[in-house]
Structure 1
Amino acid sequence: MAVFLRNTGNGVCVRLTKVWNRAICRTDLIVCHQRHTYSSSPQIQSQLKTTAKKVSIPTRNLGQPTPYTHPHLMKYGDVTPGIGAAEFVQRRTKLMSEIGKLSASEKGKKHIVVVPSHPKMYMTDEIPYPFRQSTDFLYLCGFQEPDSILILESLPDRHLPAHKATLLVPKRDAHRELWDGPRSGTQGATDFIGVDVAYENGGLAEFLEQLSQHNNIVLWYDFLKPTHPEFHNKIMKQLILPVRNAGNAIKTLEETLHRMRVIKSPAEQELMRQSASIASHAFINVMKFSTPLINESDIYARIDYECRIHGAEFLAYPPVVAGGNRANILHYVNNNQIVKPDELILMDAGCEYHGYASDITRTWPVSGKFTPPQRTLYEVVLDVQMKCLEMCSLPNITLDQIYNSMLKMLGCHLQDLGILSRQLDEMDTLKHASKYCPHHVGHYLGMDTHDTPRVPRSVNLQPGMVITVEPGVYIPLSDTNAPSEYRGIGIRIEDDVLITKDGTAEILTSQCPKQVKDIENLFSGTMFPW
């Protein structure tokens, strides 16, 4: 047996113990929670110190990457690439602490949290869609297999956030694994994921029925937005109905989880930097690749290729690749037309890197040179966007306030260009400006592209939040109120912004060119000549 210590660099110290016998070589990790904790609450820190758990790295393929099978992606201590076992414990503990705060007036209650995974979805008989895990489930445990369910229970005679974490997972099945790939099974789930106990999901109904027998239950489950229809039916029958009939409370979880998820940990911030960097460089190569008369589908294929070849798992959402007047269709995803030599291309795309999304929009002339009307409108949008980015560093600022300022600035610019009348009062100017930019200035970004929608855009921006800033101007060919030279032009410029711990804005996508001269130099070969 060999024992040595290793610092993983994420604030997690691990003790690696290699054990050899006739049958196995297993690497065990003792996860010690030392620094970069998710909360400074003494109550949470106390709980973390008492829940340091032995986490094993099985020396076989599981249903997801591990440091043993994917050492090029993960280091020891990771449950998902870049996120250590300690952080998942901290997230679950933080959730139970928040539940404790929300239930401070309810003494003697047993709190049960139920978070299902996604099921596997099929496009036709036996042909599955690529699997993407339920975000809240993945955030809390890191388990990447379908048809699983996480259950957190408060403990008798102990105060929250003390809890027990149970995972129900698919049974190991040699026949199904032949077709679908390895499964972790209950042993793999407890060893690698680090929950307290795991069971096979075939026993879900019985397990839920046992939970329903407890007295004074408060059940936390998002019954209005079920992620797994089959499990939802069992939860309704075996747990919700008995709990409700006994007069116990049933509460939704989404808002509490979104308030947690909107603040990114240092590890999450680094993953988002990487996601933004990959997408930024992909945009550069796609811009250089585009030429007059190119098909939008070629650009779609190239952005997908560039993101994947540089480490992203896949695109974060179906991209918008819109030439000319099609840029005025905000969610244009057909991406199958020819781009004429005098047209702009608006591309809205991003990648997902180890579970974290980027989201960029750039607009450029396929010829490599803006026409005078295109350049005029582009510089309007760029000016507004730069000023909105500066506002992100202001104290006590919200996305809604930045949005209102965006409309005011756009309204003034559109009046200067003769697109809006100068006779309009302030309210009418805002109203008409919103017709030329009918979407918000931005949204939260994270594990989902439109992340944490239950967090209002009226809350102050806080350190750890990541947002998009994406003003646009859209003037369809059919708009006879606009001067003819601007008709058929749609422009949007979007960057991803991290609010840092000192309250300033870090532009995660700053490597992606957006100044007129930089874009035109890109085509001439004087910028990024590779």
Structure 2
Amino acid sequence: MRLARAALRQVHRPLCARSSSRRACIRSYATTVSAAELEFGQPVHETHPHILKPGEITPGITAQEYADRRAKLAFSLPDGAVAVLPSAELKYRSGPVFYPFRQESNFLYLTGFSEPESLAVIRKTGPALGDYTFHLFCRPKDALAEQWSGPWSGLRAAEDVFNADSAADIAALPSLLPPLLRDATRIYTDAPLSATAAPSPLASILRDLPLRHAPLPLSPQTNPLRAVKSPAEIAAMRHAGRVSGRAFTSAMRQVWASEHELHAYLAHAFAQHGLAGEAYVPVVAGGPRGRLIHYTHNSALLRPGETVLVDAGGEYGWYITDITRVWPVAGRFSPPQRDLYAAVLAVQRTSVRLCSAAAGLSLDAIHRAAEAALQAELERLGFDFGRGGAAASELMGVLFPHHIGHYVGLDVHDVPGYPRSVPLRAGHCVTIEPGVYVPDDERFPKHFRGLAVRIEDSVCVDEEGPIVLSVEAVKEVEDIEALR
């Protein structure tokens, strides 16, 4: 592996960039093997220049940005504290058939390293922003194992590509991790450590160490960092939104016989135009199935006279977009479909405009405003909410049973545990998705029963106003109908 390390020094020097307060990543080796001839566990610029630019660890995100993220996390911790992040593990569908691997989001956010059987340790070493060390445990190169399982990056690449201060064999964790943790003032980790959790080497190590304090959860430290997106993250999400939105618009132009056919088209369109694929299992729901919020069977026929509700999005560099559109299967809305759609669209437009740093509103506040606006729109269409109060609130809970939105980023529902009550600031990225789902219930006008409308965009909050990341997915009634 010495050749690989030497090659990376020559061609990957931009990847070794550290924050200005840290030492330069300069190593001395003597060889001329090109990194383009080597194999890694994920794309690097030299092997995949069509995916990564020089200096990038993942699409759009540079080694410097990953180093800065680790620095910010360490700076937020008490002196002498250590963050411990185990990777995700490979999940099996049945027998030896596995699901595509997806790295644990906090681990990915801080390292860019996308392999299982790994563990990252970030230790605060001083009071300045760049005072930290980064240790990465992972699998060493193994030619025989890689012949069967495909390549992985190994220990040298962990240092030279991913900028670990030290790298070690994950199999040596029981002997090498305790010295890194023994004198920590605090340990932060989201690893399951309870007695009922599945046994793991990390849990055993922490249980056997004479710790001063019980480990604390890490997510409260990472959530504020992840919630505010950098310009590079926003650019990645904008690209995902652009490609996904165009795929939606293209799909609206065509006639589809079944939900499955439409689903397959969108999945292909996302991948065909430079995205990694689907960001989540989509909803493709024809007619009354649109009332089922997370309907994912996507197997029924699509019938003229009905609408189809599609909640889908693509992924770029592990950053996702989340879009929902509704359109008529036959190309034109019926009068009730048009009226209900227009009501939801009016509320969606108003709610998107509230996503500005100047407004200072939280998602919860926008939800309350949207709920009031939606009730007013529905009353105009003949829905009876009585004199308001608890009864009206109950009816709105039936018609609009979910929140106006959620944070979006590396995860579809990003930064779990980060409250919706936080005032939105520049860099927050959210969805805005009002919806109305009318059951077959005598309390509601007959001609609207069975209809479902949800309109959703991914939106980034900016000082000057909202940036709609999915604007290429058309949503005006006239534009949708004109596509046919």
In structure 1, what is the Cα distance between the partners aligned to 2:293 and 2:185? 46
1:34-53 aligned at under 5 Å gives the runs 48-53=20-25
Distance 2:448 2:347 in 1: 18
Q: Which moved more, 1:23-32 or 1:342-351?
A: 23-32
1:80 maps to: 58
Is there any run of 5+ residues in structure 1 with no aligned partner, and where?
A: 1-18, 35-46, 104-108, 524-530
Distance 1:268 1:144, change over 3 A: same
2:311 aligned residue: 348
Name the count of aligned residue pairs: 472
Cα deviation digits, residues 474-496 of structure 1 (max 9, x gap)? 012x3222122111100000011
TM superposition shift of 1:205: 1.2
| Residue pair 1:419, 1:483 contacting (<8 A) in 2 also | yes
1:231-380 residue pairs with structure 2 within 5 A? 233-243=200-210, 246-291=211-256, 294-380=257-343
Q: Secondary structure at the match of 1:50?
A: coil
Q: Which residue of 2 aligns with 1:40?
A: none
- Cα deviation digits, residues 337-359 of structure 1 (max 9, x gap): 01111100000001111110000
Q: Indicate the residue corresponding to 1:490 in structure 2.
A: 452
Match of 1:455 among 394, 405, 418: 418
Picking from 58, 61, 72, the partner of 2:35 is 58
Q: Is residue 184 of structure 2 the alignment partner of residue 220 of structure 1?
A: no
Aligned mates of 1:469, 1:159 — CA distance in 2 = 39
Q: Is the 1:285–1:306 contact (alpha carbons within 8 Å) kept by the matching residues of 2?
A: no
Find the counterpart in structure 1 of residue 159 from structure 2: 190
User: 1:153-232 maps to which residues of 2 (within 5 A)?
Assistant: 153-155=123-125, 161-214=130-183, 217-224=185-192
Counterparts of 2:51 and 2:7 in 1: how far apart (Å)?
A: 27
Paired residue type of 2:111: C
1:209 CA drift (Å): 2.7
C-alpha spacing 1:134/1:32, structure 2 compared with 1 (3 Å): closer
CA contact under 8 A between 2:7 and 2:35: conserved in structure 1?
no
Q: Per the alignment, in what secondary structure is the counterpart of residue 193 of structure 1?
A: coil
Alpha-carbon distance, 1:201 to partner: 0.5
Quick one: distance in 1 between partners of 2:139 and 2:84?
17
- Say if 1:362 and 1:378 are closer, same or farther in 2 by CA, change over 3 A: same
**TM-score, scaled relative to structure 1:** 0.84
Contact 2:20 2:130 in 1 (8 A): no
Larger deviation: 116-125 or 84-93?
Answer: 116-125
Gap runs ≥5 in structure 2: none
Cα distance change, pair 160–49 in 1 and its aligned pair in 2 (3 A): closer
Q: Verify the 8 A CA contact 2:16 2:161 in the aligned structure 1.
A: no
Any idea what the Cα deviations from partners look like across 1:194-244, whole Å, max 9, x if unmatched?
A: 111101111011122323432x53111114589xx87x622221124424x
Q: CA RMSD in A?
A: 2.4
Greater strand fraction, Structure 1 or Structure 2: 1
CA contact (8 A) 1:240 1:250 kept: no
Q: Deviations over 1:359-378 (max 9, x none)?
A: 00000000100000100101
The aligned amino acid for 2:137 is L
- What is the rounded CA distance, in whole Å, between the counterparts of 1:504 and 1:274 in structure 2? 19
Judge conservation of contact 2:92–2:98 (CA < 8 Å) in 1. yes
State the distance in 2 between where 1:202 and 1:224 align: 19
Q: CA deviation at 1:141?
A: 0.6
Contact 1:88 1:140 in 2 (8 A): yes
% same residue: 35
Give the deviation of 1:28 after TM superposition: 3.8
Q: Which runs of 4+ in 1 moved over 6 A?
A: 22-25
Give the TM-score, by structure 2 length. Answer: 0.92
Q: Relative CO higher for 1 or 2, CA cutoff 8 Å, sep ≥ 6? A: 2
SS in structure 2 of the partner of residue 517 of structure 1: helix
CA contact (8 A) 2:22 2:131 kept: no
Closer/same/farther in 2, CA of residues 213 and 513 from structure 1, 3 Å limit: closer
- Equivalent residue number for residue 116 of structure 2: 146
* Deviation, structure 1 residue 58: 3.5
Tell which deviates more after alignment, 434-443 or 120-129: 120-129
- 1-structure distance, mates of 2:193, 2:214: 18
Per-residue deviation at 1:26?
4.1
2:13 partner SS? strand
| Cα distance in 1, alignment partners of residues 285 and 96 from structure 2 | 34
